[in-house]
Structure 1
Amino acid sequence: MDIIERFLAYTRINTTTDIAKGQAGIVPSSEGQMELARFVARELEELGLVDIKVRDNAILTATLPANVDYDVPVVSFFGHLDTSAELKTDTNAQITRYEGGDIVLNKELEVILRASEFPEIENYIGQDIIHTDGTSLLGADDKAAIAAILDAILFLKNNPEIKHGPVKVAFVPDEEQGMLGSKAFDTKEFGADFGYTLDCCGIGEFVCENWNAGHAVVTFKGQSAHPMSAKGKLKNSLLMAHKFISMLPGGEAPEYTFEREGYYWVKQMSGNSAQTILNLDIRDFTKSGYLSRKDFLQKLSDSCSLLWGEGSVTIKLVDSYENVSNSLQGDASFPIDIAFEAYRHNGIEPNVIPMRGGYDGSILSQNGLPCPNIFTGAHNFHSVYEYMPVDSLKAASKVVVDIVRITCEREASKN
C-alpha cells in the first residue's frame, strides 16, 4: 500500500471526536477512533513492529527494533486518531491534478475552493491534491500524520542499509478537545528519549513553541431583591461581571492579536442577578508573561471583591498546558537540530512558526518527552476546504526517515 492509498483508507473511517462524551470523561469519545487504532495496529504488525498495544482508551503504541548493536537514543513519532467536531459527516476524498485557479469541490452545492481566498494553493500547481467533496472535513488533521509515519516505517523496513536505533510510534485519541489522549499518555512507560508530533502546517513549517495556557473561572455573587424594594439592596452579579470584563486590557483579546502576542479570551458567561460565572482563557508565549497575566487576574478579582464586598468575587486559575519551548532549551534543543538537518537534506528550508494553540507535543513535553512538531503538508484544517498536496505528504514521510537516520548517525560518530 502506498502513502496515498494508506491515507485514503484512513479517511474512510469516521473518527470525529464527540465533545459531549469527551467532556464526560469518555476516551475515546467515538467508536471510530478505536476502529482506526485497531486498523493501524494490524498494519504495524504486518510491518514487523513489536510491543504493539491498543489500550482501552485507544492509545496505540509500537516499536520498530534497532538494526544496530550499539545504544542509540530512542526517537518517537506521534499522530492523533480523531478529527475535529466541526462536521461529523463521512469523508469522500478526491484527487485533483491541480493546474491553477479554483477547484470545484461540489458542483451541485456550489462549494468551490477559490484561489483568491486560499492563494497558497497556487504553490502546488502541477501536483496532485487530495480534497473533499465539500461536505466534510478531509481528516488530514491528523490522518496525514499516521500515513506519513507508517510510510516511513515501511521505507526503513525495505531499506535495511539505513541504520537506526529503536523507533517508537504512538497514536492517541481526542486531541481535538483538550488533548485528552496525550494527557492520559504514560511517557515513562513509553520509554522514548524524545519525539515529534506531525500535526498541521504546510511543507517546511516547524513548531517548537506554542502557548503557555490556562483558564480562569470567576464567580460573582450578588444579592437578589424584588425591584419594588431593590434600592440599596440589589447587587446585580451580571453587571459586576460586565464591569470586570471592562477592566481587562482592551487590545489583548484574540481578535486584536497575532504571532507572539498574548491575550485574555472571554469565552463564556452564564448566570442571573444573584450569581454569574465567567470563563476566560489565558494565553502567553513567555512563562513570565503567562504568570503576569494570572497575577493580573488574581489582583483584579481581589480588588473587585474589596470594592463590592467580601466574597463577592472569587477566582479559580487552572493551568492547561505549557509552551513546548520550555522543554527545548540549551542541551535539550537537539531534537530541533536533528529536524532541521532532516528538512535541509530533503531540500526544505525550515520555516519556524509560533503555534497560537496547543498540540499533543506541549503535553508530552511537560511530561518529560521533548516533542516539537513537524509538518504534514495539509492546509485549511477544520474546514471543508481542507486539502493535502501529495508531494508534501511524501516529503513529511521522508523527513521522518531522515530524522531516524540522523539520530543513529550522530550516535555512531561518538563511538
Structure 2
Amino acid sequence: MPSKEAAVSDVLERFMRYVQVDSQSDPDNMDVTPSTPRQHEMARYLGDELREIGCVDVAVDEHAYVTGALPASAGAEKCPALLLCAHIDSSPDAPAAGVRPHVVHYEGGPLVAGIVDGEPVQTTPDQVPDLAQFVGQDIVCSDGTTLLSADDKAGVAEICALLARLVANPELPHPAIKVAFVPDEEIGHGAELLDIEALGARWGYTVDGEALGEFNYECFSACEATVVVRGVMVHPGSAKDVMVNAITVASEFQQLVPAFERPEHTEGREGFYHPTDIEGTASDVTLSYILRDFDAADFDARKETFRAIAAFLNDRYGEGTVTVSFREQYRNMAEKFGPEDQRLIDYALEANREVGIEPVLVPARGGTDGAQLTFRGLPCPNIATGGYNAHSVREFVPVRSLELTVDLLERLVAKFAADDAGMGA
C-alpha cells in the first residue's frame, strides 16, 4: 500500500471507486442496449459525478449513454468543441463482479495481484517487459479473482479527473469539452447510438487502450462471419454414398482456413481469421468467426476466401451444404482521416512528449468507439490509459500512469484552445 503520508491523487481515488461498480456487458444479450441492467447503475453513477464536477447539460438516457459538457475557458469560446469518450462496460472475458482493487508497491520480480486457491495470480517481467519501468512505483491490481476493469474505467477516471482539474483551475485553456461515456463497447455496440449531432463536437478522442504513449489512429476493419453447414442424415447402417455429416464438413471448412493467419500466429499489421464458437450436431453445424485486417483490399479478400471455401465444399457435397454470411462491425478509421484532421495526430504526439512520454503510433489490433464515430463524421483517434493485461484477472495499471494521462489530457485540450484551432471547423 502507498505510505499513509502520501496523498491519494484525484484520479486514483475516482478509479478505485469506479471499478467497484459492476458494469460487465453480455454478448448473449446483444439485442438490448445496454446488454446488462448493471450498466444503468454505472451510467447513473457517472451522471452524478459529472454534475458534481460542474458539467452542464448532463444526461443519462434509456440506453445508459452518459453525456455532458464543460464550457470553454475564457477566450476559447469560438473554438470547435472537443469530445472525450470512454466506455463504461467491462469485458465479459473474465469475472467482473465484486472487484476489490488494491495498491501494490512494486519492488521487482513477479507482480502478484492476489492468492487464489493457494496459487499466486501474477504477471512476470517476461510476460510484460514494461514491468521493469515500474520498479519502486505503486500499481493497482484486483485481488486476482476478477479483472480490474481498467479497460475502460481508467479512461473514465482520467476524463473525470481532467474535468475536475479544469473546473478548479479556470485559467487552464480549453475549448468546450463534450463528454460521452458509452455502454457495450466490449461486445461491439459502444458509440453506435450516440447522438453526435446533438453532442456538437467537431472532433474528439477516445481514452482507452493500454501502455502509455501508444496512440492509435488506425484500427482493424472487422466483421463477423457465420458459416452454416447443413448435413444429410440417414441411419448410419445405410449411410454409404448418402450421408453428409455436418460435423465432418465443418471440420473440413476450418482445415481449409489458412492456419498461419490465426490470431496466435499474427502481429503488427497482419490480419487474421479467428474461430470463436461452434455448435450443432451431425445434421447441422454453425461456425462463428471474426475476420480482421487493416488494408481494405485484404479485408475484402478474407471474405472471398470464405466464399471460395464454401463453393469448394458445395461442389463436393452439393449446393447449399455450406452457406456463409457476414455482419460488418467497424472499419479502419484511418480510411476517413483527411488532411484537416492531421492536427488530431500532431497534438496528441506533442502532448505525450510534453509530459515526458515518447509516443508510439500503434495500429490498434481491435476496435474502438472512435472507429464508429470517425465513420459517422466525427474524427476520433485513441489515447492510451496506461493499463496492461486487459480482459484478464492479471489486469493492472500503475498509479503514475493514471496521473500522467490526466496531465497529458490537460496539455492536449489546451492545444485546441489556440487561436488557429478553429481552422477547418
In structure 1, what is the Cα distance between the partners aligned to 2:257 and 2:72? 54
Pick aligned residue for 2:276 from 267, 272, 295: 267
C-alpha change, 1:399 and 1:218, in structure 2 (3 Å) is: same
C-alpha change, 1:274 and 1:396, in structure 2 (3 Å) is: same
* Pairwise CA RMSD: 2.2
Counterpart residue number, 1:165: 175
In structure 2, what is the Cα distance between the partners aligned to 1:112 and 1:229? 54
Counterpart residue number, 2:132: 122
**Stretches of structure 2 lacking an aligned partner (at least 5 in a row):** 1-8
Of the structure 1 ranges 368-377 and 268-277, higher mean CA displacement relative to structure 2 is found in 268-277
C-alpha contact 1:27 1:181 (8 A) present in aligned 2: no
Q: Pairwise mapping of residues 91-240 of structure 1 onto structure 2 (< 5 A)?
A: 91-107=99-115, 109-113=118-122, 114-178=124-188, 180-240=189-249
Tell me if 1:87 matches 2:127.
no
C-alpha contact 1:269 1:279 (8 A) present in aligned 2: yes
Tell me if 1:75 matches 2:76.
no
C-alpha contact 1:59 1:181 (8 A) present in aligned 2: no
Of the structure 1 ranges 336-345 and 112-121, higher mean CA displacement relative to structure 2 is found in 112-121
Counterpart residue number, 1:38: 44
C-alpha contact 1:89 1:135 (8 A) present in aligned 2: no
Which residue identity does 1:2 align to in structure 2?
Answer: D
Q: Pairwise mapping of residues 17-56 of structure 1 onto structure 2 (< 5 A)?
A: 17-20=25-28, 22-23=29-30, 25-56=31-62
In structure 2, what is the Cα distance between the partners aligned to 1:132 and 1:267? 27
C-alpha change, 1:411 and 1:91, in structure 2 (3 Å) is: same
Tell me if 1:315 matches 2:303.
no
C-alpha contact 2:76 2:174 (8 A) present in aligned 1: no
Q: Any idea what SS the aligned residue of 2:320 has?
A: coil
Counterpart residue number, 1:355: 364
Q: Pairwise mapping of residues 8-23 of structure 1 onto structure 2 (< 5 A)?
A: 8-20=16-28, 22-23=29-30
| Identity across the alignment (%) | 36
In structure 2, what is the Cα distance between the partners aligned to 1:148 and 1:69? 22
Deviation at 1:144, TM superposition (A): 0.9
Which residue identity does 2:153 align to in structure 1?
Answer: K
Deviation at 1:410, TM superposition (A): 5.0
Q: Any idea what SS the aligned residue of 2:324 has?
A: strand
Which residue identity does 1:80 align to in structure 2?
Answer: H
Q: Any idea what SS the aligned residue of 1:408 has?
A: coil
Pick aligned residue for 2:333 from 300, 319, 324: 324
Which residue identity does 1:122 align to in structure 2?
Answer: A
Of the structure 1 ranges 119-128 and 268-277, higher mean CA displacement relative to structure 2 is found in 268-277
Q: Pairwise mapping of residues 241-260 of structure 1 onto structure 2 (< 5 A)?
A: 241-260=250-269
In structure 1, what is the Cα distance between the partners aligned to 2:72 and 2:156? 21
In structure 2, what is the Cα distance between the partners aligned to 1:245 and 1:291? 19
Deviation at 1:194, TM superposition (A): 1.2
Tell me if 1:382 matches 2:391.
yes
In structure 1, what is the Cα distance between the partners aligned to 2:254 and 2:115? 46
In structure 2, what is the Cα distance between the partners aligned to 1:250 and 1:378? 31
Q: Any idea what SS the aligned residue of 1:339 has?
A: helix
Deviation at 1:340, TM superposition (A): 1.0
Q: Runs in 1 of length 4+ with deviation above 6 angstroms?
A: none
In structure 1, what is the Cα distance between the partners aligned to 2:26 and 2:281? 30
Deviation at 1:385, TM superposition (A): 1.8
Residues 43-68 of structure 1 show CA distances to partners (whole Å, capped at 9, x for unaligned) of: 21122211111001110000111233
Deviation at 1:107, TM superposition (A): 4.8
C-alpha contact 1:268 1:279 (8 A) present in aligned 2: yes
Deviation at 1:186, TM superposition (A): 2.2
Pick aligned residue for 2:297 from 279, 288, 293: 288
Which residue identity does 2:32 align to in structure 1?
Answer: I
Of the structure 1 ranges 360-369 and 279-288, higher mean CA displacement relative to structure 2 is found in 360-369
Deviation at 1:274, TM superposition (A): 3.0
Counterpart residue number, 1:63: 69
In structure 1, what is the Cα distance between the partners aligned to 2:115 and 2:329? 43
